[in-house]
Structure 1
Amino acid sequence: MTDAPDPMAEIRGSFFIECEELLEAMQDGLQEIENGGSDSETINVVFRAVHSIKGGAGAFGLETLVRFAHRYETVMDAVRSDTLDVDTDILKLFFRCADHLSDLVRCSRDEDAFPEEQGRELIDLLNNSIGETEPADEPEVQIDFQPMGLNINLDLDMDGPDLSMDLDVPVFEIHFAPTAELFETGNEPFLILRTLQDLGPCEVTCCTEKLVPLEQISPETPYLSWDIVLAANVDIDEIMSAFEFVDGLCELKVDQQNLSTLAPELSPLEVLPILEVLDVAPPPPLATVPPPPKPTPSAVKSVVRVDLDRIERLVNLVGELVINQAMLSQSLESAGLSPHSDAMNGLEEFQRLTRDIQDSVMMIRAQPVKSLFQRMSRIVRESSAAVNKDVRLDTEGDTTEVDKTVIERLADPLTHMIRNAVDHGLESTDQRTASGKPPQGKISLTAAHRSGRVVIEVSDDGGGINRPKVHQIAIDKGLVPADATLSDSEIDNLLFLPGFSTASEVSDLSGRGVGMDVVRTAIQGLGGRITITSQEGKGTTFSISLPLTLAVLDGMVVQVADETMVLPLNVVVETLTLTETNLDQVRPGLDVVRIRGEFVPLFDLGVSLGYRSALDNYIDAVVLLIAHEDNSRAALIVDEILDQRQVVIKGLDDSFYRAPGIAAATILGDGQIALILDPTDIIDQAQEISPVKRAS
């Protein structure tokens, strides 16, 4: 007999998923503050995120997480109340605390050991920032529960705010009744009541009319509500701010009048204890605040969290559907049916539905790169602190969406690139000042869609690649001949050779080049490419081009030397046929095709892949005009264009030789396996090959 599943496991899992969203919102808020947007709402966003994480962690007994979040929340509250100014040092501390809070959430989720030493250091820094020497422990709530009327008197601070016997002090009568949603979001009524107590002397009565016998209690149903009488020299907006986190999650009514109208012969502190005893009927309220309206269902965006394994299974099924649709299409065409027959019309509708399903599934898998970029922000902070440099990370295009699998597998290579940029790409502060640059170095991380792919760029404003040094290191290591003449691009690409490094000392953060061979291998494993551009004294840019998805693509099926292959359709701009008037030779080994006044380099795909030698005559040959991400163009000669269809990407594992220009494979409608090509990589590899013999 198997053990019954833990009913709390699913709720706990949902809490940690919600924590990811809250941590992302917290990072966004801190980034906005760093960019100068320190308005009250931005600060409240960060405060609410920390508060919600603390509330949920308390429900699961995660004491370490609760304790740190409480300290962080206390200091954020000091910022909210304008008793603590956010300067550069405080902001850096908040970022470190956000990183540590993220670590605590991860350790709590994975049941790993907590970084206790780092936590103690940060708590001390938080305490020092508000002038405290020891963390103030959360007061324990002792409730004597009895199945009868219950009266809770908070520990009133009779030496609290000095009302100066002002009989015009407002008195607020508040009715507060939580709904089930309030507790589901991790909010705690006691904290709200305590906030009201801080405003002035108050009397709190717990209403138990709806309480049922213990054996009939449902854990999800709230039975208690509270009536509060508060005397405080504040306006009604400050009263409502105590309930801002539960807006729409409770029934709330606030009535206001003055003490002088209630009992003019009594002092403010004498009025409150006898209000209930004398049952004084107050005059009509001066102001009534209706309960906050609950959001209508149409205004709430519903979100369903689905296990990733289920999505992967759905993607695989869609892939099989695409393959079967292609097989059915080829079978009907082979049968010689009329294009206007019912079967062919039904096939067209089936193809459209298949495409719509595929697009919808891909949208489910697509995620913005925002979470990845936020992780890189932390890498910059930690790396810059390790090498004692002042570095700022600017991000752009973090809403760009890409397949979730691509995002996950991109984290490690991007981390390598960011660390190398901080350590070796950017100069030291003294060097930057001496060269007339700002003391603070800048790293830019951008993402954008181009030509049906996603392009991610990592650039710095450092000194650029020292090409003479790189060239000499390559010669010393025997990687290139001493008399070899290399172009700037060829020297830059030496950085991707295994084991190549420009660092003079080995450290955790060494020179640009450490791990760059690993970076290129990882990018190629994703069907992508990485290129370098650098300008001396100005900086370096690494550009990564990746497919939007690793599941399916729209392809053009072509034939080359009796081999059937697929090219991504998004890189094909147009097709044309070579003639004597549009085929020219610039020099021996470099042929071009003239297209509307523009000369485009020409390559024979069969020659580039090693299937055949160059033909004697290319007149009437079929050419595909290919567009690169940098808007440059090239032309590929193929033997025949067979079809245009959607194909399922089948990755090639490590047991296959990773030939240049081969991105993946697919299964065609007749069951034949065809290679999926990377035209840009093929063209780059073919630059040194004489692509075409000019037509005679």
Structure 2
Amino acid sequence: MSDELDEIQAIFFEECAEGLVTAEQGLSAMQAGDVSAETIAGVFRAVHSIKGGAGAFGHADLTAFAHKFENVLDEVRGGKIPPSPGVVKVMLSAFDILTDHVESAKGLAPRPADQAALAALEQVLANKGADDGAPVANSTAPAPAAVETPAAPAADEADEFGFVPMAVSLDDFDAPAEAPAADAPWIVTFKPSRAALANAGEPLLIVRELEALGAETVAVDTSTVPPLRDLDPEDAYFTWTLRVPGEVSESDINDCFDFVAPDSIVEVRRDETAAPAAAPVAEVAAADEFGFVPVTAGVEDFAAEMQRVVETIAAASPAVGSVDTPAIAPKANSDAQQTIRVDLGKLDLLLNLVGELVIRNSILADRLSPADRQRVELPELARLTRQIQDNVMSLRAQPIKQAFSRVPRMLRDLSVETGKTINLETTGETTEVDKGVIEKIGDPLTHMIRNAADHGLESAEERIAAGKSPEGTIKLSAEQKGARIFVRVSDNGRGINRERVKAKAIEKGIIPADAQLSNEEIDQLICAPGFSTAETISNISGRGVGMDVVRSNVEALGGRIEIHSVPGEGTTFTMILPLTLAILDGMIVRLAGQRFVLPLAHVLETVQPEPGQVKRTAPDSEVIDMRGEYVPVKRTTEIFGLNDDRAVEDSLVVIVESEGSGKVGLVVDTIDDRREVVIKSLDQNLHPIRGLGGATILGDGSIALILDIEALVASTNRYTPKGLAA
């Protein structure tokens, strides 16, 4: 469990690094004079995302500072505070402090002195701007006396994020702490779980974290160490007693133990005697019969002694073997799985080279006769190329569980904040996704989950009145189909109130008052920039950036968002994401003389229609009789706005199967060939075009567009310059 939490938090810190880069670039652009709405919104989103993730992991100091910074950015974004040079200068100083807070949350730096920066931000909010001649806050300026700082929550009282500081011990979590002298030192007793080392937990890391706060080790109790024959090298036997300076807050001490096992013993109390720390012992006590020596000086002495003990045990008892103590004496294990870190840029280059190899293979196939193809073993070359591509793709593939694993804790916090009981159901956690996709869907996934918990699910009273279970359910799923990844977040809540959404959109000027919109178009309005139906601003929602962030991030990946809502039953958000590079089996078809690639994974069969087999059921609707089963038919040329007067009997109908629409017949002119093609993303040079999943280079060097079957069969027969109509 500790490993999983570490992995989740590592992903959060990676996202923090990306957010800080985005914020720094935006603030630098603002300093240079670019104060466009897009630039300001980019900085706001970055800080907003850092705040949300920090709150989920209990980094209270980071959350509080980011929230104050976000308030200023929100006022600037809304036009209430002009982005003058003085304001930008204050925000740049605040950005530096925000960066220090992130480093502090990682445990790489002490908590920064942020009082001056908070005072400067507060002044900007109060004055609706900053005096350009005023001095700029920095981390070394003294804190003014009038600055208010949030009081630390009581030991038995949950803070604003739902976290309860640990007081006295984990077994006596709710016991009220005594109140000795406020400046008395803290006495911390820590006995790790017996299975800490077996579960890859390192108690010394926690001790060192306490030492970073100024703690000193008073004693290490080794009385529970068993005889050598009973010693388990993966069990933890020691109990540490440390003295922490009295000015350190109890919450900072408790933060060091956030991820220890529940059966660990953690006691934090004031030293009522307030006696000075014992002087260092001149001579180290004699070692006991097992070679263990009580430690009174510090962790470094203990580490050295532990090193000696490990070597002694290993030499004296071959049956026990070497002890794996990663932080002290790493063990070389020839049987262990060997790994190596590789820069993602190198993998991307390798993927591109494999793609070029496939293209060259296609060119060679076009230029050789059938007899020559067999002589040069072209099919074998294609097979080997495909194997290389699959193995290279697997190097970047990781289970989407890494992105899903942060959701349970997020929902626990949201349950506390909203007062709702929320159940989570997940499927498809083992679906392998490109690492780049996992890194970029974390933020959209967070926003969709928070949106479902805050807006989608009703309160227990509302659900009971509607005849539902008082507990709401959020379902999270992932699956890969062909070259697409489907990630769904669905809830069984109230559904989208389309009348309210349309009214809010009119109120905010997003659409004109006389706009005639379909249900699907109204649902898409919740993804408009600045749209929100929340009445008040909270830590969960209300600023109108949630679904806007989701859509912009997904479209940046070349994907799209689909929304399906049934009033009273719930809402489902689906992120449909493409693989950035893949080799797929494709059918080369012609539409109005132009060549396109139709993925074979969707194709069931092809039909040469006989006269009367295709029937028109409405002015813009046709079906084909397939052995007594009527299958809808779509003319692909009409969808893309291509001129083609060819009769359907002179064309071919390709029967494809999609997830949302089932079987559909697509009318094409002819089928030229079947080939392996390399998908090249369109969004790097163009905007994403619905109905097209990418492009490829054919054997003759020409470019062919790859059809997106799911988008084609779900579309109406309308074409717009931006792509297919919704």
TM-score tier by shorter-chain length is: 0.5 to 0.7
Q: Aligned match of 1:125 in 165, 168, 187?
A: 165
1:368–1:401 contact (8 Å) kept in structure 2: yes
Q: Partners in 2 of 1:227 and 1:298 — Cα distance? A: 19
CA contact (8 A) 2:477 2:489 kept: yes
Match of 2:308 in 1: 224
Offset at residue 561 of structure 1 (A): 1.9
Distance 1:664 1:331 in 2: 25
1:206 matched residue in structure 2: 291
Indicate whether 1:619 and 2:649 are aligned. Answer: yes
Distance 1:675 1:393, change over 3 A: same
- Note the 1:396-475 alignment, pairs <5 A: 396-450=427-481, 453-474=484-505
Pair 107,290 (structure 1): closer, same or farther in 2 beyond 3 Å: closer
Alignment of 1:327 with 2:384, yes or no, is no
Aligned mate of 1:648, from 678, 696, 719:
678
* 1:136 maps to amino acid: V
Taking the TM superposition and a 5 Å limit, the aligned residue runs for 1:232-247 are: none
- Give the Cα–Cα distance (whole angstroms) in 2 for the partners of residues 646 and 395 of structure 1: 34
The 5 Å alignment of 1:19-168 reads: 23-24=6-7, 111=108, 114=111, 125-130=165-170, 131=172, 134=186, 136=188
SS of equivalent to 2:681: coil
1:285-364 paired onto structure 2 within 5 Å: 300-332=336-368, 336=369, 338=371, 341-343=374-376, 345=377, 347-364=378-395
TM-score calculated relative to the size of structure 2: 0.58
Could you tell me how far 1:370 is from its partner in structure 2? 0.7
Q: Specify the code of the residue in structure 2 equivalent to 1:203.
A: D
Per-residue CA distance 1:217-269 (angstroms, 9 max, x = gap): xx9999834799xxxxxxxxxxxxxxxxxxxx957859xxxxxxxxxxxxxxx
Aligned equivalent of 1:479:
511
Count of residue correspondences:
501
RMSD across aligned positions (CA): 5.0
Partner of 2:649: helix, strand, or coil? coil
3-state SS of paired residue (1:553): strand
Aligned-partner Cα distance in 2 for 1:369–1:102: 27
Q: 1:662 to 1:220 in 2, by over 3 A?
A: farther
Quick check: 2:492–2:571 contact (8 Å CA) kept in 1?
yes
Alpha-carbon displacement from aligned partner over 1:598-635 (angstroms, at most 9, x marks no partner) = 222212222211221554x2103112222222361222
**Deviation of residue 302 (structure 1)?**
4.1
User: Structure 1 pair 514/602, CA: closer, same or farther in 2 (3 Å)?
Assistant: farther
Q: Could you tell me how far apart the structure 2 residues matched to 1:303 and 1:122 are?
A: 46
| Cα distance change on mapping 1:425 and 1:331 into 2, 3 Å | same
Greater CA deviation, 310-319 or 379-388?
379-388
Give 1:632's aligned amino acid: G
Match of 1:682 in 2: 712
Q: Which residue of 1 aligns with 2:22?
A: none
Match of residue 625 from structure 2: 594
User: How far, CA to CA, are the matches of 2:390 and 2:220 in structure 1?
Assistant: 61
Distance 1:499 1:612, change over 3 A: farther
What is the distance in 1 between the residues matched to 2:710 and 2:653? Answer: 15
1:365 aligns with 2:369: no
1:468 CA displacement: 3.2
In structure 2, the CA distance between the partners of 1:173 and 1:113, relative to structure 1 (3 Å rule), is closer
Check if 1:493 corresponds to 2:545. Answer: no
Is 2:673 aligned against 1:636?
Answer: no
Residue-by-residue CA offset, 1:326-356 (whole Å, 9 max, x unaligned): 2222222xxx35257422x2x1111110011
- The alignment status of 1:375 with 2:409, answered yes or no, reads no
**Structure 1 unaligned blocks of 5 or more:** 1-17, 28-94, 142-153, 162-169, 195-200, 209-218, 229-248, 255-288, 690-696
Task: Kindly state the Cα deviation for residue 378 of structure 1 after the two structures are TM-superposed.
Answer: 4.0
The answer to whether the 8 A contact 1:252-1:292 is kept is no
Contact 2:592 2:644 in 1 (8 A): no
Aligned CA distance change for structure 1 residues 318 and 222 (closer, same or farther; 3 Å) = farther
What CA distance in whole angstroms lies between the structure 2 residues aligned with 1:221 and 1:675? Answer: 67
Rate the CA distance shift 1:207–1:23 in 2: closer, same or farther, 3 A: closer
Q: 1:430 to 1:322 in 2, by over 3 A?
A: same
Counterparts of 1:404 and 1:122, CA distance in 2: 41
- Output the CA distance in 1 between the equivalents of 2:673 and 2:150: 60
* Preserved CA contact (<8 Å) 2:484 2:576: yes
Which runs of 5 or more structure 2 residues have no equivalent in the other structure? 11-54, 64-100, 114-148, 156-163, 179-185, 192-202, 205-217, 243-285, 294-302, 325-330, 720-726
What is the CA-CA distance between 1:372 and the residue it aligns to?
0.4
- Contact 1:444 1:459 (C-alpha < 8 Å) held by counterparts: yes
Letter of the aligned partner of 2:165 in structure 1?
L
Cα gap change, 1:21/1:635 in structure 2, threshold over 3 Å: closer, same or farther? same
The share of aligned pairs that are identical, in percent, is 37
User: Separation in 2 of the partners of 1:328 and 1:658?
Assistant: 31
- Compute the displacement of 1:498 (Å): 4.5
How has the CA–CA distance of structure 1 residues 111 and 310 changed in structure 2, closer, same or farther, with 3 Å as cutoff? Answer: farther
Contact kept, 8 Å, 1:394 with 1:445, in 2: the verdict is: yes
Partner Cα separation in structure 2 for residue 177 and residue 24 of structure 1 = 27
Normalising to structure 1: TM-score of the pair?
Answer: 0.60
Cα 1:389–1:634 shift into 2, 3 Å: same
C-alpha separation in 1, matches of 2:289 and 2:580? 58
Match of 2:253 in 1: none
Partner Cα distance (2:2, 2:615) in 1: 62
- On the 8 A contact 1:403/1:550 being kept in 2, the answer is no
Q: Is the 8 A contact 1:460 1:540 kept in 2?
A: yes
- Confirm whether residue 564 of structure 1 aligns to residue 595 of structure 2: yes
